[in-house]
Amino acid sequence: MKKHYKHLETKLVHSGEPEPRINGAVSMPIFQSSTFEYSGQSSYNDLKYIRLNNTPNHIALHQKLAALENAEAALVTASGMAAISTALLTLLSPGDHFLAQNCLYGGTHEFITKDFAALGISFDFINGDEPGAWKSKLRSDTKAIYVETMTNPLLQVADLKAVVDFAKAHKLISMIDNTFASPFNFRPPEWGFDLSLHSCTKYLNGHSDIVAGTVIGRADLVEKIKHKLNHLGASLDPHACFLLHRGMKTLAVRIKHQNDSTLKIAKYLEEHQSVEKINYPGLESHPNHERACELFDGFSGMLSFELKGGVEVAERFMQQTTLPVVAPSLGGIETLITRPATTSHSGMSPEDRHALGISDSLIRVSVGIEATEDIIEDFEQALKV
Ligand SMILES: *Cc1c(COP(=O)(O)O)cnc(C)c1O
């Protein structure tokens, strides 16, 4: 009997696992075979082959990922950008128009602004907080609307319910990059989004040792995107499938700790006299706090802040800390710290960064699973210098 599980913690461990277990193996084995014996398939996309995203390792992940967000279907990809670019290339054709939030992940922003023109796709950026202004950007050929659950690095939360309503009213496909929240904190299909995208490199895998991505949502759309992925070839290797599968099982225990720890660190920083400004949606002082409370089950392990005194003070703080690793990326078990002006947002001009409210001295932290007290103690000594 196919088992159905109620809670996310249980689904992470048990959903999608093969029934019966393969030779009794408790952990999903790695099927390191590029091709599989022909068994009468009549369509190209049904031949069993790693690039066609249908080996036992892929299928188990697809079922587990779909279950996590209570969605119809899911697809794993070779990276988060593979998920995003393949989904957009599937849904948009020459002549189509596209609406996207104005402060996207760097890779997504570059893909839209640098590659869309040659593909004959036009776009407009929207402010996620001003639904009243979206209609003026709408065109008869607008096909999709694209947002992120929490913006990087200011952790702003757009009016996500308005995005879904707007998409339904104007027959657009609604897409959301849910990487920062992870399925533990937010499940877009439950709120009516057509597609939820993740960089599994971050929280889903959680161990900073692979890149991977996923598209989760409506079965008809996921099927089309899978066929496009079969053509483009950005399929996840079985060994990376195995690592993602293993990493995902602890998502709930990791995120619970990271949510709690990050709220404590945010409160500590908010009280500190050297801190000018702190951005964390779990704080009452955050402009989108109420919206975040309504939508999310937790506020994530990401926060950003500014110290009094500008870039030099920020650099000195980062050098003085001993526990966090100074590195881009996020969502792993180790605390990472970075200055977005030098990493994720270095491609933007200072003027564009400032227009979005990202100062050059802003510090972003991805809180890991270390003891909260150790992180705070380290920040305390670094702030004294
Ligand atoms: C990292 C990231 C991506 C891209 O994912 P890759 O796995 O690096 O390709 C997309 N969106 C967000 C929000 C990210 O943080």
* Predicted confidence (pLDDT) per residue in 298-313, tens digit: 999 999 999 999 999 9
State the catalytic residue, choosing from 11, 48, 202, 291.
202
Q: Which of 215, 248, 281 is the last residue of a domain?
A: 248
CATH of the domain at 321: 3.90.1150.10
Q: Are residues 224 and 347 in the same domain?
A: no
Q: Kindly provide the b/e burial profile for residues 317-327, where b requires at least 16 CB atoms within 10 angstroms of the residue's own CB.
A: bbeebebbeee
Nearest to 199 by CA among 78, 52, 342: 78
78 belongs to a structural domain: yes
Nearest CA to ligand 1 atom 4: 80
Active site residue 339: no
44 is catalytic: no
**Mean of all residue pLDDT scores within the chain:** 96
Q: What is the predicted pLDDT for the residue at 1?
A: 55
Q: Same structural domain for residues 267 and 156?
A: no
Identify the residue with better confidence: 214 or 344. 214
Instruction: Classify strands 142-148 and 97-101 as parallel, antiparallel or unpaired.
Output: parallel
Quick check: CB of 81 below 6 Å from ligand 1?
yes
Whether residues 109 and 149 fall in one domain: yes
**Per-residue model confidence as pLDDT tens digits over 1-59:** 567 899 999 999 999 999 999 999 999 999 999 999 999 999 999 999 999 999 999 99
List 49, 51, 316, 378, catalytic entry: 51
What is the number of the ligand 1 atom nearest to the C-alpha of 81? 9
One domain, residues 238 and 314: no
Answer yes or no: 143 catalytic.
no
CA 263, 264, 265, 268 dihedral sign is positive
Q: How many domains does one find in the chain?
A: 2
Contacts of 343 (CB under 8 A, 6+ apart): 328
Whether the predicted pLDDT of 347 surpasses 90: no
222, 314: one domain: no
Cα 35 to ligand 1 centroid, rounded to whole Å: 29
For range 273-288, the mean pLDDT: 97
Q: Summarize pLDDT for 47-85 with one digit per residue, the tens.
A: 999 999 999 999 999 999 999 999 999 999 999 999 999
3-state secondary structure of 20: coil
Q: Do 327 and 211 reside in the same domain of the chain? A: no
Query: Which of 11, 64, 96, 105 is an active site residue?
Result: 105
Tokens 């084995």 locate to 29
280 counts as catalytic: no
High-pLDDT (> 70) share of the chain, %: 99
Domain boundary among 223, 248, 273: 248
What is residue 4's predicted lDDT score, i.e. its pLDDT? 82
Q: Give the predicted TM-score (pTM) of the model.
A: 0.97
Is residue 1 in a domain?
no
User: Does the Cβ of 199 fall within 6 Å of ligand 1?
Assistant: yes
Q: What is the pLDDT of residues 155-200, one digit of tens each?
A: 999 999 999 999 999 999 999 999 999 999 999 999 999 999 999 9
Rounded to the nearest whole angstrom, what is the distance from the C-alpha of residue 44 to the centroid of ligand 1?
30
Q: Is residue 2 part of a domain?
A: no
238 and 290 within one domain: no
Of the candidates 153, 180, 158, 157, which has an alpha carbon nearest to the alpha carbon of residue 306? 153
Distance CA 185, CA 198 (A): 13
- The answer on pLDDT for 385 being more than 80 is no
Phi-psi region of 40 (alpha: psi -120 to 50; beta: other; left: phi over 0): left
| Both structure tokens of 367 | 């809180």
Co-location of 30 and 177 in the same domain: yes
Is 3 part of any domain? Answer: no
220, 120: one domain: yes
**Lowest mean pLDDT, pick from 64-68, 186-190, 348-352, 355-359:** 348-352
Asked if 324 and 215 sit in the same domain, the reply is no
Same domain, 241 and 325: no
> Residue 336: CB within 6 Å of ligand 1?
no
- 24 occurs within a structural domain: yes
- Please give the residue range of the domain that contains residue 372: 252-384
Is the beta carbon of 153 within 6 A of some atom in ligand 1?
A: no
